[in-house]
Structure 1
Amino acid sequence: MDTGDAFDPNCPTRLVLDRIGDKWSVLVLLSLIDGPMRFTALRGRINGVTPKVLTQTLRAMELDGLLTREVFAEVPPRVEYTLTDLGRSLHAPISVVARWAEENVHEILRHREKIS
């Protein structure tokens, strides 16, 4: 299998980097790592995301094969989102980046204040 070249502007690797670099995708991935969740639970966990943006993010992640959407034949219908193996494979690198962001946010903000 051929590997991509992220520095080539025509390489689809950039599409993947856009997906995994999107804050909403990262937060969805981190939310689903412990198991399936319903839309409302995801929205509650990811404070600040609008229903429209969450829906768009979930659809894009499903299209990319990072999660599955399962509809249960109940009244009212129940929908759950679950990470795929591909999505779960992102947990280790994404959690390291998220942890780094949490540990360094104050220093980053301090530098921003210096420039302003």
Structure 2
Amino acid sequence: MAGGNAIRGTRVGAGPMGEAERGEAAPRHRVGYWCSSGHETRVAFAADAEIPESWDCPRCGLPAGQDAQAPPPAPRTEPYKTHLAYVRERRSDADGDALLEEALAKLRARRGA
């Protein structure tokens, strides 16, 4: 059987804390942000803080704005490009054909054909 310790199961500093121990909270105001999926996020800012125009929605990751009727549109994502797609952007078909012929000529010369 346990001893007669009245504070068993508690730790130092676990008592009720109030404004006297922590100090006064800084003045704040809450700002609502809405994303294009219809999620609302309310963020608390200090009264003297600069409020950002947009905020990332924590639920879906889309950008959210302060206007519930006109939230910012979802960003357009670029499709994944292969290495060949990047090469085709830099070179014309004529350049590609010339390079292919040059590489084939080197291969044929190496093989002795």
**By percentage of residues, which structure has more helix?**
1
Q: TM-score, normalised by structure 2?
A: 0.20
Decide which structure has the larger Cα Rg and report it: 2
**By percentage of residues, which structure has more strand?**
2
Q: Which has the higher contact order (CA 8 A, sep 6+)?
A: 1
